[in-house]
Amino acid sequence: MKAPFPPIAPWFVAACLQCVVLLLPGGGSHAETPATEPEFSLHGFASQGYSNSTANNFNSSGQSGGSFDFREAVVNGRWRFAEHTSVAAQALYRAAPVSVDDGVRLDYAFLDHAFTGTLGATGGVLLGRFKNPYGFFNETRDVPFTRSGIILPQSMYTERGRPFTMSSQGILVYADLYQPWGTLGFKGSYGKPVRGGAPLEYILFSRDLPGEFEPDRAATAQLRYDGPEYGRGWSAALSYQQYAYDFSQPRSLGVDDFHFDFHTMAASLQYDSGERWKVLGEVARGKAFDGAIRLGGYLQANYRLRPDVEVFARGDLMILDERDRWGKKYAQSGRCPDYCRYAKDFSVGLNWDIRPDLQLRLEWHHVNGTAWLSGAENDLRDSTERWNLGLAQLSWRF
């Protein structure tokens, strides 16, 4: 039996209604397209990563001499074929064993119609496949130049779950209200998630099973505030994400039906000095199909040593079951040690912009626990509790 759709938070309903009010046409006016915006633009990037760990595997990091099994390449384009309407698409190539996500895929492809309303608001509607608005980084996490590190905090943006949590297909509405005190933005979407495939099977069952996870429904919402000065001051966001799948061959699991449903709320906060430093943190709480409450959060500080060099330090915590935080009860089942149910990660990193189009990143993680490791790469019953991970990445964009 399918789990009922979770109740929508009151702030989500209020934000949707406010969106409608703000975007009622103001004298029939539309958003003015800047004269400098090209009718067609093409961009992309390519990156090569290296990983080496003292134990366990993260993109094959545990093999002798480390691993170069982390490559990304993207080409995206946008065509504005009418004054307020455009289409955009992105093709992504990725080789990343941790997410079972090798090969080329259509990352997003949508039709975007923008307009203005009353009270200084702008907004629009997207139709197609789009990135889910979740936290500060989900919509841009594929672009190395926009990430806060080689890998994002795994408590919020797990690599193993990346293929099916990043995007949805359907309709997304967005609106921004510009005021002297800052910008208030809203995004909300409804549709279907992308196919779950092997990544979801490895998360749930640590193996690839006969059958597939068929998309059922996806819903997202985000309310965000940014201060009046771009790149300076406070930013904050509340995010909601829900996605659900049906398994096409439940008999292989010994049941008549199997429905996966996960929904999560996240709160994000950042202060940027605008020059040297910034501090940011995010926390999330979600409920999975089995009733387990997932918890996660991180705190990170960045400091710019000079205009082209930035360093950061981060503490990150991931817990897979709030009622069994340190996995003691789970370990009694014999499925894996207690430390496969949590991960405490302390990391430091350096980002060097060699040129505007070329970037080098270095990163080191000390991890206690294996909750964000993938069963596609590891036998979690035979994993190591405390381990170190070193990462490097060179990225070029055009």
List, for residues 194-250, the tens digit of each pLDDT value. 886 677 887 777 777 787 888 999 999 999 999 999 889 999 999 999 999 998 888
Q: Which residues on adjacent β-strands are paired with residue 387?
A: 367
- Calpha distance 100→159 (Å, rounded): 9
Phi, psi at 173, each rounded to 5° = -110, 145
Position 18 confidence tier, pLDDT thresholds 50, 70, 90: low
pLDDT surpassing 80 at residue 38: no
Token pair 């490895």 in the structure block, residue: 202
Q: What is the pLDDT of residue 294?
A: 95
284 CB-near residues (< 8 Å, 6+ apart): 135, 155, 156, 264, 265, 266, 267, 294, 295, 296, 297
Asked whether the whole model's pTM tops 0.85, one would answer: yes
| CB-CB contact of 297 with 282 (8 Å) | yes
Radius of gyration over alpha carbons of the chain, in Å? 21
CA atoms 89, 94, 98, 99: torsion sign: positive
Provide the residue ranges of all domains of the chain, joining segments of one domain with +: 30-397
Q: What is the CATH number of domain 30-397?
A: 2.40.160.10
Phi, psi at 16, each rounded to 5° = -60, -45
Q: What is the pLDDT of residue 16?
A: 53
pLDDT tens-place string over residues 265-314: 999 999 999 889 999 999 999 998 888 999 999 999 999 999 999 999 99
176 CB-near residues (< 8 Å, 6+ apart): 121, 122, 123, 183, 184, 185, 186
